[in-house]
Structure 1
Amino acid sequence: MSEPCHDIAHLAHVELLTDRFEQSLDFFTRVYGLVPSLLEDGVAYLRGFDDYEFHSLKLTAADTTGLGHVAYRASSPEALDRRVAAIEKLGGGIGWVDGDAGHGQAFRFADPDDHVFEIYYDTRRAEPGENQKSALKNIASRFTGQGVAARRIDHLNLLAKDVSAIRDWMPRALGSRVTEYIQLDNGRLGGCWFTVNNKTYDIAYTEDHTGHTGRFHHVTYAVDQREDVLRAADIFLENGVHIETGPHKHAVQGTFFLYVYEPAGNRVEVANAGARLILAPDWEPVCWTEADRKKGQAWGLKTIESFHTHGTPPVPSHG
C-alpha cells in the first residue's frame, strides 16, 4: 500500500457555464438557496451558507453549458508545489493563472477526458454581511432559510469516455483514493468514486454512454437531513423545476438524493451527505458488479437511462 497523500485539502469550487445566465442565477439563489458573494456582469460567485470560502460555485454566462473548471485547494503552499510537479510529470499541465475573485494564483491542468481543473492555496474566506453573520462563531454564516438552503458543496460527477484512465490518473495527480467503483462485465469501469480526505468521495466519474468526452454530469450540495431533501422536492415542484429522479437512496455511497435540471440544463443534486466517513487508512475500494447495479438503487429504484446520457454541453446533433 502506498503512503496516503494529503497534499489536497478538499474540493473547493466548480465553475458552471450557462447560456441562460439570469434564469440560472435565479435558480441557484432564490430556489436552491445559495448565497451571493459577488455579482458581476455575466459572473456570479455563490456559496452554501456554511461554505467557508468566498465561493463554491462560479456561474459564468457563456454560449454553451457544462463545466468551466473544477477547483481543489491544496493543504499548503509546499503541497501545491508537489502536486504541480506531479501533474507536470503526467503531462496534463496547462499553466498558472492569476485566479479570480475568490482565490489567488492557481495551476490549471486537464484530466485524460479533457475536463479542466485547477489547484491553489491562497484563498479568500466568506465575508458575510452583518445580517448574514451567525450567532455561532463556528458557522460561516447564518442559516438562510431561502429555498433549499444548501449548506455546503459536497461533490461533483463528471462524465468520461474511459473511466479506467481516470482511475489511474487521479491518485497520481491529486493523491486521491478510490473508495468505490463499478466493474462492468465487458471489462470497462462504469463509474469510480474518489476522495482526497476522509469524506467518502468528493468527485465521481461515470461512463458517458454517448462516447463523447469532457462533459459535466452534476454538482451536489449537502443538506442536514433527509427531510430537507423531501422539502427540496416540493420547492422544485412549486417552482416548475424538472425533477429527473428521486428522492431516493443511492446504493453506491448510500446518500439520500434528488436530481434536477437547472434552467440551462445543467444537472444539480441535493443530498443528505456526510454521515459516512472513510477513517480506515487501509480502506479497500468497494466493487459493485454489473449484476449489483441492475438491482437498482438501495431500495430498488432503477437507474434511469438519462443518468448515463444527459450531460452538458449537449451532444452535438447531426440530424
Structure 2
Amino acid sequence: MADAPEPIMDIAHLGHIEIFTPKFEESARFFTEIYGLTKSGEKGDSIYLRGYDDYERYSLKLTAAKTSGLGHAAYRCRSPQALERRAAALKGSGFDVGWTDGDLGHGKTFVCKDPDGHVIELYYETEWYQPPTEEKPALKNQAQRYPGHGINPRRIDHWNGLAADISACRKFFEDYLGFRLTERIVLNDGSEAGIWMTATNKSYDFAYTRDHTGTPGRFHHVTYALNSREEILLAADWFLENGVYIETGPHKHAVQQTFFLYVWEPGGNRVELANAGARLVLAPDWKPITWTEDERKKGQAWGLKTIESFHTHGTPPVAHK
C-alpha cells in the first residue's frame, strides 16, 4: 500500500473577507447597528468590522463600489515560513498574482486567484485586536466585551463562493493550499455541484457551489457564528423589526448540519447566521461525504424545501441565462 502524501498544514484559518456594496452608507449601518459588528478601522473607501470574539483586528472589510460581490477572501498562514512555502508553490502556476505590502491590520500578503477568478490573499503578520477601555472584557481570554448590540455576532465562521468549475476549484485548494474536502454534492451526470473544505478541525472554512448562470468568480454569502440556536431565533425577530429581508430559515441544513438563517444586506449580498457549535472533523483520514442529486432534491434536514433564490441569487448580479 503506497504511503499517502504528507498533508499540507500551512493554512491556519479564514482571516477575513472583503465584500463590495453599491449602497455603502446603508450597508455600513446594517453591519454595525443592525447586525452588530464593531467598527475597528477605516481606510479609503472601506471600513473594517469585527465580531466580539474575533482575535484579529477585523474579519470583514466593507468597501464602497459600483456593484456588489466579493473583493477577496484572506487566510492566515501558520508561520512566516508557511506563507513563503505557499507563495513558492503558487509562483508560476498561472494562479499567482504576486506580493503586496498588505492592508490595515496585516502585513505582507501573497495574492492569487483560484481557477474561477476569486481573489485569495495569504498572510501571516497580523494585528491582534486591542480593545479600547469601553470594550475591555471582564474575562481576559475574550477579545472584547460582549457588545449587547444588534444580534451580537461572535466570530466569522465561513464564506461561500459561486463557481463555474467546482472540480477545478477543489483541486486548486487541495493541491496548492492544503484544504481537505469534507462533504460534496455530485450530480447524476457525475459532475461536482458543491464542495465544503477545511484547513482546520472545523468541518468547513468555506464552500463553493455551482453558479447556475455559468459566470465565474461570484459570491454567495458570508457567515458569522452566534452562540446558540436561540440567539438565531431572536435574530430573526430583530431582522423582522428592522425591515431586513429574510430569505430563508431559521432551519437546519442537511449538508454539514448547520443551523441557519439567511438575510440580504442593503447592497444585495447574502449574509448567514449559524450556531457557533460547529461540527468538528478530528479524523486525519476523514472520508468525504457525498450527497447525490436526488438526496439534495429532498431539501434541508427537517424537510424545508430549498428556496429558489438560494440557487439563483448571487453577487454581483448577472443576467440569468
Q: TM-score, normalised on structure 1?
A: 0.97
The partner residue of 1:88 within 82, 88, 91 is 91
* SS of match in other structure, 2:233: helix
Aligned to 1:260: 263
Give the conservation status (yes or no) of the 8 Å contact 1:90–1:173.
no
* Counterpart amino acid of residue 50 in structure 2: R
User: What does residue 287 of structure 1 align with?
Assistant: 290
Give the corresponding residue for 1:124: 127
Unpaired segments ≥5 residues, structure 1:
none
Contact 1:86 1:172 (8 Å CA) reproduced: no
Q: In 2, distance between residues paired with 1:242 and 1:95?
A: 39
Within the alignment, does 1:47 sit opposite 2:50 as a pair? yes
Q: Aligned residue for 2:71?
A: 68
CA–CA separation in structure 1 for the residues paired with 2:180 and 2:279: 15
Could you tell me whether the CA contact under 8 Å between 2:194 and 2:209 is conserved in 1? yes
Superimposed CA distance per residue, residues 212-248 of structure 1 (whole angstroms, 9 cap, x where no aligned partner): 1110000000001000110110111111111110000
CA contact (8 A) 1:255 1:273 kept: no
Q: Which digits, 9 at most, give the CA deviation of each residue in 1:18-57, with x for residues without a partner?
A: 1111100000011111011013452101000000001100
Q: Which residue of 2 aligns with 1:6?
A: 9
Partner residue of 1:157 out of 160, 170, 173: 160
Task: Name the SS of the counterpart of 1:90 in structure 2.
Answer: coil
Can you list the C-alpha shifts for 1:129-160, whole angstroms capped at 9, x where unaligned?
11101111111001111111100000000000
Match of 1:172 in 2: 175
In the other structure, the counterpart of 1:143 is 146
| Deviation at residue 290 of structure 1 after TM alignment | 0.8
1:114 aligned partner: 117
Q: Distance in 1 between matches of 2:23 and 2:207?
A: 26
Matched residue count: 318
Q: Are the aligned partners of 1:35 and 1:47 in contact in 2 as well (CA < 8 Å)? A: yes
Matched to 1:85, the amino acid is: A
Displacement after TM superposition at 1:317 (Å): 7.4
Contact 1:37 1:127 in 2 (8 A): no
| Distance (whole Å) between structure 2 residues aligned to residue 317 and residue 199 of structure 1 | 34
Q: State the partner residue of 2:223.
A: 220
Runs of 5+ consecutive residues of structure 2 not aligned to the other structure: none
For 2:166, give the aligned amino acid: V
Q: 2:185 aligns with which of 169, 176, 182?
A: 182
Structure 1 segment 18-57 matched on structure 2, within 5 A: 18-57=21-60
Shift of 1:97: 1.0
The alpha-carbon deviation at position 270 of structure 1 amounts to 0.5
Which 4+ stretches in 1 moved above 3 angstroms?
A: none
Residue 307 of structure 2 corresponds to residue 300 of structure 1: no
- Please tell me the residue identity of whatever aligns with 2:135: Q
Specify the SS of the correspondent of 1:131: helix
Identity rate, percent? 62
Measured on the aligned residues, the alpha-carbon RMSD in Å equals 1.2
Conserved? CA contact 1:35–1:49, under 8 Å: yes
TM-score (norm 2): 0.97
Report how far residue 274 of structure 1 moved: 3.4
Query: Does the Cα contact within 8 Å between 2:213 and 2:320 map onto a contact in 1?
Result: no
